[in-house]
Amino acid sequence: MGRPSEPPVTNGPAAVAVPTLPQALDSARAGGTPIALRNDCPQRDQPDQRDQRDQADQRDQADQRDQRDQRPGPYQAYLWALPPVVVLSLVFLYPLALVVQQSFQPDSGGTSAQAYGDVFASAAFREALGTTVWLASGSTVGCLVLGFVLALVIAFVPFPGGKAVAKFIDVFLSFPSFLITLALLFIYGTVGMANGLWTDATGAAEGPFQFLTTPWGVLLAEVTYFTPFVMRPLLAAFSQIDTAQLEVASSLGARPARIVRQVILPEALPALAAGGSLVLVLCLNEFGIVLFTGAKGVTTLPMLVYSKAILESDYRGACVVAVVNVLISVGLYVLYRVVSRRVGA
Amino acid sequence: MLVHSRKGKWATWAVFFVLFLPLFALPLLVVLAASFATNWSSAFPSGFTTGHYTAATRGESLQALTTSLVTAVTASLLALLVGTWAALAAHALGKRGRRVLDALFMLPVAVPSVVVGLAVLVAFSKPPMLLNGTRWIVILAHTVLVTAFAHQSVSAAIVRLDPAYAQAAASLGARPSYVLWRVRLPLLLPSLTAAAGLCFALSMGELSATMMLYPPDWTPLPVQIYAATDRGALFTGSALAVVLMTATVVVLFVVSRIRTKATYR
């Protein structure tokens, strides 16, 4: 993903392309590898093309040269890598390991997976798991469709102010997610805007919009908040498509729907795949939106972790749910990194 | 380009704005409007007041704002230090080492932040590292959550860096530390400030891990907003949310000014 529209590297300090905040955000959440890979290539590939000597040998030389540029010996390099790794282990990996350990430790001592049995058997957990999965997949599909349509219009049916809209989306990304739920309370809440309009118009006692405290309210909020995460990579991918291709297809008689299906969609697939799986992971982990909805009926896995740990002080149960949640999320995240690397997005 | 007839274009734009405005523009406008209102029981808010802002900028709320700012600044600086160090160290390693280090530092993105909160709570609630109940546990969790983003933005920038500058400096006899301090870090400065802005924005809005950890005397602004809306004070919550958004945007703007100055150098 990242920014395929990256300008070619030139010399001079200004050449260090400066990502804007949302671009950095995007590239960071997306893994940010592609830019790096592309500009790295020429340096490494030149020796191969130069003459017919053994390629492996040349690569070794290039590697050695690389190393000379950076640091002296490999041992020293590992030594330098040690402090941040130690810090990370202390504040993140070790706590995470403790969570796993606690989930296997019953009150009676020893080690057993009994807590897992208890949690898996509880209806609350199974319901939360189901809700989490369908909310996340539903939101992802919604984000993909909506993001694709909106990005399509911005890129291919340009209008004055389109740049401003793209800027607005950037700013949107730097706000916390729960603001959306807060706003939805005013728009679709029991005494909010939509219901107010309805009761004013019809004189009815209450409006028809009562979905906010159901999973649909969470779905709407998640689609709203996460669609920009799909739009950014899509806009970057669209800016790479040669418009001449569209003109040719159109002059050969293809109608817009067919151009979208046969020309634009294939080009956009990598960006869609990468953006979609990122949104899936983020939706699985979303907490603020669900918390602000305040609905008793909507419990997702992160919400269950919170309520077990803080409200019920059942740390063992919380740890079990946390382990399950981490396994799902990290599994999907690994898949996402593999997909986005494979498709070169 | 895709649609050629004038009618078709207008129809497409109409569809676009029918989708875009209610979904993206309306929420922010609504929060802004609600923060100035005393009442919202029909289509539009009524009873203009700035009272919520007076309340939002004093006492507990003001303290929440400073708490958030201090937490975000501290966490961003710490994350920047660790993330940049890790990115520089990873770059000096071989291909495999670099991949392992990158994966390690990106892991907190994939782990739900509630679980990060739980893990930190479990690990730092007992001696020898007793941080529970202090402000440091919140700052620590925020640092863990944003370090991944700092690491990723900086390491993307390091790979784009032209090695010729460092080579030239080294060939002129500069020691590695001097090269790092006077050549590579100044060249990286734009990305460092961008990463700092990113970390700051994320930390300002962080709610999930904070809800698990915050001690009573260290409530950041998002927690305060949640407390307000939870007890039904939606308008106060909106005013606090506007304060939060404004503070974030102002700091991001200031940070981006530093960046543009650095690129001229």
- The CB density around residue A160, as the number of other CB atoms within 10 Å, is 6
Place of tokens 């300090």: A13
Q: Is residue B144 part of a domain?
A: yes
**pLDDT tier for residue B261 given thresholds of 50, 70 and 90:** low
Q: Is residue A157 part of a domain?
A: yes
Question: Strand pairing partners for B48?
Answer: B37
Give domain status of residue A104, yes or no: no
| Residue range of the domain that includes B251 | 58-264
Tell me the C-alpha distance between B139 and B141, whole Å.
6
Q: Is B214 helix (H, G, I), strand (E, B) or coil?
A: coil
pLDDT tens digits, residue range A164-222? 888 888 788 888 998 998 888 888 877 777 887 787 777 777 777 778 778 888 999 99
Contact B118 A179 (CB under 8 A): no
DSSP annotation of A14: G
Do A46 and A142 have their domain in common? no
Determine the pLDDT at residue A33. 37
Whether the Cβ atoms of residue B124 and residue B56 lie closer than 8 Å to each other:
no
* Among B208, B229, B252, the residue to mutate for chain A (most A Cβ within 10 A): B208
Please identify which residue in the block is written with the tokens 């950890």: B213
pLDDT value of residue B264: 54
Same domain flag for B108 and B35: no
For residue A313 the two structure tokens come to 């002080």
Instruction: Report ipTM (2 d.p.).
Output: 0.85
| Pair (A268, A130) in one structural domain | yes
Distance from CA of B219 to the nearest CA of A (A): 16
**Same domain (yes/no): A146, A291:** yes
Query: Rounded CA gap, B107 and A334, in Å?
Result: 10
- pLDDT, residue A227, reads 92
If asked whether residues B111 and B216 sit together in one domain, one would say: yes
CATH value at residue B132:
1.10.3720.10
User: Would you say residue B81 lies in a domain?
Assistant: yes
Question: Residue B176: inside a domain, yes or no?
Answer: yes
Which tokens sit at B241? Answer: 């949310």
Q: Are residues B125 and B38 in the same domain?
A: no
Please tell me whether residues B20 and B69 are part of one structural domain.
no
Statement: residue A35 has pLDDT above 90: no
pLDDT tens digits, one per residue of B99-115: 888 889 988 888 999 99
Residue A105: Cβ-neighbour burial (10 angstroms; 0-12, 13-18, 19+): middle
Q: Are residues B44 and B173 in the same domain?
A: no
What angle separates helix B135-160 from helix B185-205, to the nearest 10 degrees? Answer: 140
Say how many domains are in chain A.
2
Tell me: do A187 and A332 sit in the same domain. yes
More confident site: A153 or A72: A153
Please indicate, yes or no, if residue A83 is contained in any of the structural domains.
no
**Residue B197 confidence (pLDDT) above 50:** yes
Confidence band for A48, pLDDT divided at 50, 70 and 90: very low
Q: Are residues A7 and A152 in the same domain?
A: no
Tell whether A76 is covered by a domain: no
Contact assignment for A88 to B105 by CB distance below 8 Å: yes
In a domain, B1, yes or no: no
pLDDT at position B204 is 92
A-B C-beta contacts closer than 8 Å: 338
Query: CB B20 to CB A74 under 8 A?
Result: no
- At B47-60, the pLDDT tens digits run 787 778 887 777 88
pLDDT at A39 over 50: no
Two tokens, residue B210: 């904070």
Span A239-286, pLDDT tens digits: 888 888 888 888 898 888 888 888 888 888 888 888 888 899 889 989
Interval A2-18 mean pLDDT: 40
User: Per-residue confidence at B22, pLDDT binned at 50, 70, 90?
Assistant: confident
Could you tell me if residue A97 is inside a domain?
Answer: no
Cross-chain Cβ contact A178/B207 below 8 Å = yes
What are the beta bridge partners of residue A229?
Answer: none
Same domain, B39 and B91: no
Distance from A186 to chain B by nearest Cα, in Å?
7
Q: What percent of chain B has pLDDT over 90?
A: 31
Instruction: Let me know whether A136 and A279 are in one domain.
Output: yes
**Domain assignment present for A186:** yes
B135 strand-pairing partners: none
CB B115 to CB A28 under 8 A? no
Residue of B42, B104, B114, B165 to mutate for A, most A C-beta atoms under 10 A: B114
User: Could you tell me if B71 and B156 lie in one domain?
Assistant: yes
Q: Looking at the structure, tell me whether residues B219 and B167 fall in a common domain.
A: yes
Omega prior to B128 cis, within 30 of 0 = yes
Whole-number pLDDT of residue A94: 92
For residue A292, the domain's CATH number is 1.10.3720.10
**A322·B19 Cβ contact <8 A:** no
State yes or no: pLDDT of A121 exceeds 50.
Answer: yes
B-chain residues near A27 (CB < 8 A): 152-153, 156
In this model, does residue A55 exceed pLDDT 70? no
**B28 and B125 inside one domain:** no
- A79, A88, A188, A325: best to mutate for the B interface, most B CBs within 10 A: A88
User: pLDDT tens-digit profile of B46-97?
Assistant: 778 777 888 777 788 888 999 999 999 999 999 999 999 999 998 888 788 8
Residue A296: list chain B partners with CB under 8 A. Answer: none
Q: Do B27 and B156 belong together in one domain?
A: no
Q: Is the same domain home to A302 and A157? A: yes
Asked if residue A105 is part of any domain, the answer here is no
Q: A61: how many CB neighbours lie within 10 A of its CB?
A: 12
Domain limits for position A42: 1-70
Domain identity same for B213 and B115: yes
Same domain flag for A64 and A174: no
Mean pLDDT of all residues in A63-83? 65
Kindly tell me the burial class for residue B23, based on how many C-beta atoms sit within 10 Å of its own C-beta (0-12, 13-18, 19 or more).
Answer: middle
Looking at the 3D structure of chain B, how many domains does it have? 2
Look at residue A9 and tell me if it is in a domain.
yes
Section A103-127 average pLDDT: 80
Quick one: A198 and A295 in the same domain?
Answer: yes
